[in-house]
Amino acid sequence: MTSNRAFKTALYEQLARVSRAMASAPRLELLDLLAQGPKTVDRLAEASGQSRANASQHLQVLRRARLVERSKEGLHVTYRLAGAEVAASQRALRQLAEARLTEIDRLMRDYLSDRGQLEEVSGEEVAERLQRGDVVLLDVRPRDEFDHDHLPGAVSIPLSELSARMAELPDDREIVAYCRGPYCVMAVEAVALLRAEGRKAARLADGVQDWSARGHQQAQVGATP
């Protein structure tokens, strides 16, 4: 018969498998990227600024901890989160760190203040204004991430296309840009581009996962017209 101590030691060792897999800044970023939808190793490496070899090694660690899954088509290996609870645990870790580490707030404030973008709009305000029709919600992530899921009523214009497609956005309403979540810089850059063109623009820090977790209308899967 297994003793109480052996049982608890074995149990906590299994919990530690997950924490050890997540105890890496590059791996946490990979999980954030995969929360936006499945991606190939090459896409993950490019988006996270890693070499393909390093990204692949980190993904193997996450896979051994059963946090991600993979499939292979020809030469391409695609990774995805193993379940919604993985994204939820990532979000809980971020919230814990933000509550306990003042360094995170300082980093965010310094980064945003350098770009004149300390202010942001809340998800509650955006939801209300979408109902009134006096705001345009702009998703500046890559199109495949928008197609995987996006906020209700959002318009997709990837950041790389924004300058060329500015005329597609109405000029009589404020534009609220969002991307992958509070640590994603694409929305910050989008707001800077919009303001440089004389548009009224603001940033929504929430990503798709944050929006749903706050109890707003569920994000939509698939592209909108």
- Check if the beta carbon of residue 149 is closer than 8 Å to that of residue 220: yes
Mean pLDDT across 138-145: 97
Task: Name the CATH superfamily for 113-213.
Answer: Rhodanese-like domain (3.40.250.10)
Q: Indicate which residue of 86, 138, 176, 179 is catalytic.
A: 179
Mean pLDDT across 152-170: 96
Question: Do the two domains 4-87 and 113-213 of this chain adopt the same fold?
Answer: no
- The reported pLDDT for the residue numbered 218 is 58
Please provide the CATH number assigned to the domain covering 4-87. Answer: 1.10.10.10
Whether residue 224 is predicted with pLDDT greater than 80 in this model: the reply is: no
Catalytic (active site) residue 179: yes
What's the whole-number average pLDDT of the chain?
Answer: 92
- The reported pLDDT for the residue numbered 220 is 63
Give the start-to-end residue ranges of the domains of the chain. 4-87, 113-213
- The reported pLDDT for the residue numbered 76 is 87
Residue 222 pLDDT level (bands cut at 50, 70, 90) = low
Rounded to 5°, angle at Cα 114 from 111 and 118 = 70
Whether residue 40 is predicted with pLDDT greater than 90 in this model: the reply is: yes
C-alpha–C-alpha distance, residues 113 and 117, integer Å: 6
Q: Which residue has the higher pLDDT, 73 or 185?
A: 185
Write the CB contacts of 142 (distance below 8 Å, at least 6 apart in sequence): 158
Mean pLDDT across 182-208: 94
- For residue 146, the tally of other CB atoms under 10 A from its CB is 24
- Check if the beta carbon of residue 60 is closer than 8 Å to that of residue 69: no
